[in-house]
Amino acid sequence: MMKRLVLHAVAVAGAALSLVGCGGGAERPNVVLVVVDSLRADALGGEPSASRAIDRLAEEGVRFERAVAPASWNLPSVSSLITSTPPWVHGQGAPASGAGEIATLAETFAAAGYRTGAFTEMAWPLLQRGFETFQNTAFKHTFGDPESNSAAPTLQAALEWAQQDDSKPFFLVVHTYEVHSYFLGKPRHHERARAEQPAYEGPFREWAIRDLSQPAGPQVIEALLQANDDDLAYVRSLYRGAVAEVDAEVGRFVEGLQESGHDDRTVLALTSSNGEGFRPDLKRVHHGGRLHHDLLHVPLIVRWPGRLEPAANSSLVATLDVAPTLVELAGLPEQPLFAGRPLVAPVGGLLASLRGPRFHAPKLSKEPVVAQEAAFRILPSGEREAATEPQYALYLDWVTFIDSGDQVELYDLK
């Protein structure tokens, strides 16, 4: 009798494993990558938080506390994010080394049978590679319409695309400039700033850079370099207003996935291209031109309900690791052209096999992270000009070296 029971149990387990292997429990997940441009890691959380929806994603997923971007502005950084290669390889915003072929995340998922879509507020040829649907929702307004909201139409268009009735799993990239554009004087951003700083009556109370016929960066730098402590408090609240605006739209996007039944079978990663500087006393304002921690430390959250164990992970990681991580979670073959490493590992054992794939984020081996700035440099005055040679930042666990060409800086980040 005992022998028959054991044989019966083995047969049931074998049948269950067979079903998993045939696609029932091994159905490939949808994958969403949300990029919030210029979102500092320390802009999330705190009290009162301007990011309650994103905070919930972090609680329900894995929050990588020490994620480092490969560049200090979006063109090279986002290019690295979608190709898992450093700037000197892909050559966007930096001279390419001629290292050879690169592959994009969209191409990788398209080759695996995914439908692919991107809804962004920027566009360049490398970013568009591999997408069946690519929509620049900002159109001629590089940073979105100053009188309205850029995150709302972008995430709404992305949600509508995700909710289309299609038997294929989808890979979706969503990018918004909403936080980047805190200087455009959007009414809702100022509402938050005035609520947090009601006594402020200084020059930034009506701040709005509207002359977009000229590059916005130098105008932002000039204004912030002249800011005093009270001005900066208001500007930081203005920035928090932009964070709150994005957060509300991310919350609506996640609710939409839940209502359409996609949430439990969707991997969602959220990160940023770079941070933002608010230190005129150190001549470190805005972004680009330098490689300090305020520009390179970015948020990174990966969430898959029921499949990825929630955790706070303190390993030093790079956003080059995002692409290999999403490929690993989707169960796709390793992409040999990706330079990063997966940040998750499967949970083994018979129970995990019966229930379908499960993952966790282990303590990772210590590996250096490198960032490059080759397009701009910051002068002693704090102003930005075209670079004459590249700068590099090398993160070694808690220590960072910055080579700015004519000097080397050493920081202990503890």
| Spatial distance between the Cα atoms of 160 and 157, rounded to a whole number of angstroms | 5
Name the band, by pLDDT with cuts 50, 70 and 90, for residue 342. very high
| Spatial distance between the Cα atoms of 318 and 310, rounded to a whole number of angstroms | 19
Q: Which of 136-145, 325-334, 354-363 has the lowest mean pLDDT?
A: 136-145
SS (H, E, C) the chain: CHHHHHHHHHHHHHHHHHHHHCCCCCCCCEEEEEEECCCCHHHCCCCCCCCHHHHHHHHHCEEEEEEECCCCCHHHHHHHHHHCCCHHHHCCCCCCCCCCCCCCHHHHHHHCCCEEEEEECCCCHHHHCCCCEEEECCCCCCCCCCCCCCHHHHHHHHHHHHCCCCCCCEEEEEEECCCCCHHHCCHHHHHHHHHHCCCCCCHHHHCCCCCCCCCHHHHHHHHHHCCCHHHHHHHHHHHHHHHHHHHHHHHHHHHHHHHCCCHHHEEEEEECCCCCEEEHHHCEEECCCCCCHHHHEECEEEECCCCECCEEEEEEEEHHHHHHHHHHHHCCCCCCCCCCCCCCEECCCHHHHHHCCCEECCCCCCCCEEEEECCEEECCCCCEEECCCCEEEEEECCEEEEECCCCEEEEECC
pLDDT in tens, 295-309: 999 999 999 999 999
pLDDT in tens, 178-225: 999 999 999 999 999 999 999 999 999 999 987 777 888 999 999 999
State the average pLDDT for the chain: 90
| Residues 185, 149 contacting (CB under 8 angstroms) | no
Closest to 80 measured CA to CA, from 62, 67, 66, 93: 93
Say if residue 242's pLDDT is above 90: yes
Say if residue 29's pLDDT is above 60: yes
- pLDDT value for 195: 97
Say if residue 354's pLDDT is above 90: no
Say if residue 38's pLDDT is above 60: yes
Find the angle CA(396)-CA(73)-CA(111) to the nearest 5 degrees: 85
| Spatial distance between the Cα atoms of 264 and 306, rounded to a whole number of angstroms | 7
| Spatial distance between the Cα atoms of 252 and 152, rounded to a whole number of angstroms | 9
Q: Residue 14 has which token pair?
A: 């074998």
- pLDDT value for 228: 98
pLDDT in tens, 81-126: 999 999 999 999 977 766 568 999 999 999 999 999 999 999 999 9
- pLDDT value for 85: 97
Closest to 54 measured CA to CA, from 305, 299, 325, 361: 299
Say if residue 11's pLDDT is above 60: no
| Spatial distance between the Cα atoms of 59 and 301, rounded to a whole number of angstroms | 9
| Spatial distance between the Cα atoms of 157 and 43, rounded to a whole number of angstroms | 26
Say if residue 151's pLDDT is above 60: yes
| Spatial distance between the Cα atoms of 235 and 293, rounded to a whole number of angstroms | 20
Percent of the chain scoring above 90 in pLDDT: 79
| Spatial distance between the Cα atoms of 10 and 160, rounded to a whole number of angstroms | 45
Tell me the average pLDDT across 60-70.
Answer: 98
Q: Residue 356 has which token pair?
A: 């379908």
pLDDT in tens, 123-141: 999 999 999 999 998 866 6
**Strand order of the sheet with strand 369-373?**
369-373, 391-396, 399-403, 408-412
Name the band, by pLDDT with cuts 50, 70 and 90, for residue 345. very high
Cross-strand pairs, 318: 68
Output the pTM of the full model.
Answer: 0.92
Q: Which of 153-162, 227-236, 293-302, 355-364 has the lowest mean pLDDT?
A: 355-364
Residue with the bigger pLDDT between 15 and 248: it is 248
Tokens 């706070």 belong to 312
| Spatial distance between the Cα atoms of 328 and 332, rounded to a whole number of angstroms | 6
- pLDDT value for 353: 63
Show Cβ contacts of residue 79 under 8 Å, excluding neighbours closer than 6 positions: 87, 90, 92, 93, 124, 126, 127
Residue 210: C-alpha distances to residues 142, 143, 184, 221, 413 (Å): 12, 11, 6, 15, 37
Say if residue 5's pLDDT is above 80: no
| Spatial distance between the Cα atoms of 172 and 115, rounded to a whole number of angstroms | 8
Say if residue 349's pLDDT is above 80: no
- pLDDT value for 62: 98
